[in-house]
Structure 1
Amino acid sequence: MSQINELESRLAAALDRIGSRLDALPAQQADSPATLEALEAAQTALAEERTANAQLEQRVHALKERQEGTVADLRAEIRTLREETQRVEAALDEMRKAHDELERTSAALRASAEGGVGDPNAINAALAAELKAVRAARAADVAEAAAILGALEPALAEAPADGGVN
């Protein structure tokens, strides 16, 4: 991109030099055939430089548009990945909380069993905590699988429909 800008500035400087030299030609020399040929050659060169400059400007414009599109696509992909990461992190956080609760209720259940007392509330709480932990683990697995699938979808979309087999 910097090369295009450098070429563009060089072309503009060349055009300015050609224009200033054309203006500097004395009026009496303008009538001679050699001067007329030089003037025509300079005008032709000027027209060619203007055409080249216009083409470079079009290329720069096309590159900028393509770059803006790519940047927008990348930003959207980053936003999607962040959302998926947040969902996975939330599911993992729920799983950790459920696991901590399961450990507490299991400890209470062990203590009651060691005391020889079968506390039905402790057993109930332990079973509920275990069920909650299993559900949280499943939710974390589903969120992780969705994130993996989301990352694989672009590659799968680009893969040949026949699986690459001829």
Structure 2
Amino acid sequence: MQEMVELERRLTAALERIGAGIDAIPVMPAENPLQAELDEERMVNAQLSERLKSVKEREGVKIAQLEEQVEALTRQLDAQGMELQRMKKTTGQLREALRSLREATAEGVADSELVNRSMVVELEALRAARATEAAEVEEVLSALEPLISEGRTDA
């Protein structure tokens, strides 16, 4: 991107010098050989201006594409962060339920409610793990989608 800015600056400076040089040339009759050179310089100037415009447009498109990719990756990261928080919370609950179940077992008390609560928490932990894996799969698929699309256009 820095190269593009530097190239643009240099082209602009060159175009200004050309314009100043053209303005400094005295107007002469049409049969003057300098008129042909002047016309040629104007044509080159116009071509350079068009090239610069084209480069700016391409860079604008690339920047827009990169911004879209960043936005998509940010959404994916947010989704993964939420799933990770859910998983951490569920893991803490699972640890607590298992601790309570161990204590009850050590005391020789068979508490069916405690066993049921532990199973519910464990089920929630499995759901959280599945959601995290689904988010990861979605991330991989979104990364592969441009490559698949590119492969289809090449074929």
Could you say which TM-score interval applies, normalised by the shorter chain?
0.7 to 0.9
The TM-score with structure 1 as length reference comes to 0.80
- Of the structure 1 ranges 84-93 and 52-61, higher mean CA displacement relative to structure 2 is found in 84-93
1:95 pairs with 71, 87, 90, which one? 87
Whether the 8 Å contact between 1:11 and 1:49 is mirrored in structure 2 is no
Whether the 8 Å contact between 1:8 and 1:56 is mirrored in structure 2 is no
User: What number of residue pairs does the alignment pair up?
Assistant: 151
What's the CA shift for 1:161? Answer: 8.2
For residues 17-76 of structure 1, the C-alpha deviation after alignment (integer angstroms, 9 at most, x for no partner) is 3432426xxxxxx8xxxxx79x71222111111111111111111111111111011101
Distance change >3 Å, CA 55–CA 21, structure 1 → 2: closer
Paired amino acid for 1:6? R
1:10 pairs with 11, 14, 28, which one? 14
Percent identity of the aligned residues?
31
Distance change >3 Å, CA 11–CA 144, structure 1 → 2: closer
2:109 maps to what in 1? 117
Aligned 1:15-164 pairs, distance under 5 A: 15-22=19-26, 40-160=32-152
Paired amino acid for 1:138? R
Cα distance in 1 for partners of 2:8, 2:43 equals 15
Cα distance in 1 for partners of 2:128, 2:38 equals 73
1:26 maps to what in 2? none
Q: Which structure 2 segments of 5+ residues have no match?
A: none
What's the CA shift for 1:159? Answer: 1.9
The TM-score with structure 2 as length reference comes to 0.86
Distance change >3 Å, CA 146–CA 10, structure 1 → 2: closer
Cα distance in 2 for partners of 1:116, 1:66 equals 74
- Please provide the CA RMSD for this pair: 2.4
Whether the 8 Å contact between 1:11 and 1:53 is mirrored in structure 2 is yes
For residues 50-106 of structure 1, the C-alpha deviation after alignment (integer angstroms, 9 at most, x for no partner) is 111111111111111111111011101110011011111211221121111011000
Cα distance in 2 for partners of 1:135, 1:98 equals 10
Cα distance in 1 for partners of 2:97, 2:52 equals 67
Q: Which has the larger radius of gyration?
A: 1
Paired amino acid for 1:103? R
Cα distance in 2 for partners of 1:14, 1:161 equals 43
